Structures are given as structure tokens and as C-alpha cells.
Amino acid sequence: MCNPRDRETSPAVIDALFAGQAARALALRKSSAAERSARLARLLDALMARREAFAAAFAKDLGKPAVEVDLTELLPVIDDIRHAQKHLKRWMRPQRVAPTLVTLGTKARIVYQPRGRCLIIGPWNYPVSTLVGPLVSALAAGNTAILKPSEFTPNVNAVIGEIVAEVFEPAEVAMVEGAIETSTHLLALPFEHVFFTGSPAVGKVVMAAAAKHLASVTLELGGKSPVVVDASADLRHAAEHVMWGKLVNAGQTCVAPDHLYVHRSVMDRFVALCREVLAERFGADAAAVASSESLGRMVHSRHAQRVVALVDDAVAQGARVLAGGAHDAQRRYVAPTLLAEVPDAARIAQEEIFGPVLPIAPFDSLAEVIARINAAPKPLALYLWSRDAGAVEQLRSETSSGSFCVNLCLQQYAHQNLPFGGVNNSGIGNAHGFFGFKAFSHERAVLAGGPFSALKLLFPPYTPGKVKLSQRMVEAIRRL
């Protein structure tokens, strides 16, 4: 992997790009739905023209199978573009709102106005969908943007950079590269909106930096997303989907199942089914799994070593390996691994795993699982496999998470009519579809007076009659 400093954008260039977008950001306030849709069309064409280039770049950076590149990187962005183009005219239309009793005689509407110059900082695990995806929303809302991808995916970044240079003028969209110093310099600039995807720890740094300029933020963070499989679940269905959700992109997914609670009465059967699924998809022995072309790799050896260290620490404290366990950190390989009897004190029980390792714990009552979930920071996703409507409602109503999914996982990320985002520790704000458009828009209140204004009846001087009228108005409103 190349040294990130070899591709670092200088502070002077960053400052010039930021300054150069000021006038364009003002001009875009008057842009039409057709103009914005045309920009999105050019972006879509450029993405489609580079499908093979992306497949090759992802193979180098993440060892990612081409099917996963299409499914998890390009398809969500393409769908987001087409969805925005279809609905943009309606999204942009001012929304008329009825007057209240206090504002009789006025006309009101909500106008969606571009925020202005936006900064989008993406992570390394999904470098297209988490960088270009927010760009789609920023463009749909009529903003300019500076993109900052992770330094750990240089080959993918090169393809994205080609697209940005081909489709946009720097005054509208630009991409800069570099490591922490570059991000720090960008965050010191007075952007109107910052969209960040990454860890909760870095999210706090981003939010603190944005607060210095009172910039609005969208933070897509993460956390330890739990999975619950109860005794009523279709176990085969659950095993197939949990193993897919856990292992796509080698587990390096913000909404991946992080740990699993399975009812004690079906624990052994569920684990056996998970082993069957692993063998069917990646091979029946360790050598076959290690050579499987359907399994991605860790982004770099340091991350592989971190995941291996989490497993080693858990095993040293008494955890049992139910499947997998093999690894070669220097080759960025960690085998799909199932763990049991993981003690609460183990690091893997505290930290987001972000790798192909799944701790599994038995439970006897749903109440005890709910208590454990509520004792931890609110997760980005919560998954339940169940055919018991009462259990579904209990878990939904008694917990909090960015999303709650029943009998599926990860697919909420691709649903353009749903808000995607976390809550508190797992994120602030929403993305995708109309919710992404709103994130990059200011909902401006526009109020116009008419020829008659009831307010005139209460202008000074405050005579006894006006005092009595105001008192009656307050009582009338209270009784409504």
C-alpha cells in the first residue's frame, strides 16, 4: 500500500478549493430540479463506465469479490441517483402549511434551501457508497462539496478521483486526499454542513470541530449491533442471513451483526446450521476457506492483527471457538469465526468487532436480552429473527436503535424510502432518499401577511378592552 502522504493534498490547495466554491454555492441556490438531475445523470454514467475499474480497485484494496462490489457499493448509489431523479421535483416543491389560530390571515410555506459548501468525509470499509452516496444527496439538495476519502483505499480513491474530475468543475465538487492532518485542516474551515461516516470516537472530534463554526452535521457512526434469535425463529433462514450479514465485506460493515443472542433451547441447532452455511459458501476445511474467492480481506494487516487480538484475548479468558479461528494477519486474512462463552470482561465484548468474528451467547428470557441491550450504548442496528409477534413488539418498543429489522439484516441500508442513521452514540441525523436531501437542506420558513391581520386588534395602547381580549384569546387557545 502506498504511503498516504504520497497523495496528500496541500493545505494551500484545500483552501483554494474551499474559497473557489463560495460563489458557486450561492448560484446553486437558484438551480432547478432539471439542472440538478442532469448532474446526477452525468455522475451515474461515469460510475457505470467504471464498473470494471472499481472491481479491480476493490480487489486490491479490500480483496472484495466483484459481486459484493456491485451489490454493496455501486447498486446503493445507482439506486439513490435514480430515486432522487424520480422524486427531486416533488422534494424541491415548496410545501404549503395551514395557518394556526394565532396566525390567521397569513400564508406559510416551507422552502428547502441548499446549505451551501459541504464537507463529506468517508471511511475505508465502503469507500464508494459512503462517499459518493452522500454526494448524491448533496447534489440533489443543490450544494457544492469537497470529498475526503480514507487514505487506506488508494486504488478505489483513484477511480473516484477520475470520476469527480471528469464530471464536475472544482468549484462544484472536488476531492482531496490525505491522512489525519488533511482531515484536521478541512474541519477547521467554515463549511455549512459536515457529513461524516466513521467511528463514534472520531465522530466526537468531527462534531466538536463543526461546533466551532456552528456547522450542521450528519454523523453515521456505528457500534455493536446485536442480533436476537428466539425459539420461534426459522433457524435455517436466520443462519443463512446472519452469516451473510456478518461476512459480507469480511465483516467490515457498520450495520453488520456484531454479537448474537440465541435462545438456549435452539442454540446447538443454530450453531450447527451456521457451520453448514459456512462450509457451503467458503469450503469444508480451513485451507478451502483461506483460498475462497468469495471472502474478502481486512483493509490492512494492522486491522487484521487487531481482530485476531480480540479473539486471542477472549479465548485467553475462557471463550470457546465454535468455528474458524485461523488467521494470517500479514496477508490480511481472518477466517469466519464463531465464539461462545465470551466473558463480559473480554475486549471483544466491549469493542466494535468490525471483522468476521461473531460471539454467540444463549438466553432464557427476552427480558434479560433487552436489559443487556439497554445497558449498552444505542446501536446502529438491532436485528431479530422471530415468528412471535409479541416478541417482535416487545423488543421494538423496549429498546432504541438506529434501525430495527425483523428476519433480515443489512437491507435497511438500501431502502431509499427509509431514513438511515443512528441514535446518540451510533449517529446523528439521517441519510438516503428524501432524508438525505433533507440532511443537506435548510428547511426555511416563509411567512407572508395578507390584507387583514388580527394582530392589529392588540397593538398598543393596551386599553382595558385589549387586555380583556388577550385574556380571552389565551383561554380560547387553551381550550382547543
Catalytic residues, which ones?
220, 254
Amino acid found at 290: A
Residues 6+ apart with CB under 8 A from 88: 33, 36, 37, 140, 437
User: Ramachandran region of residue 359, left (φ > 0), alpha (ψ -120 to 50) or beta?
Assistant: beta
> From CA 197, how far away is CA 203, in angstroms rounded?
8
97, 104, 105, 451, 457 from 454: Cα distances, Å? 19, 7, 7, 10, 6
Q: DSSP states of 300-346 as a string?
A: SHHHHHHHHHHHHHHHHTT-EEEE---EEGGGTEE--EEEES--TTS
Residue 113 CB neighbours (<10 A): 15
CA angle 217, 156, 295 (to 5 degrees): 100
- What does the chain come to in residues? 480
3-state helix, strand, coil in the chain (%, to 5): 50, 20, 30
> From CA 81, how far away is CA 75, in angstroms rounded?
10
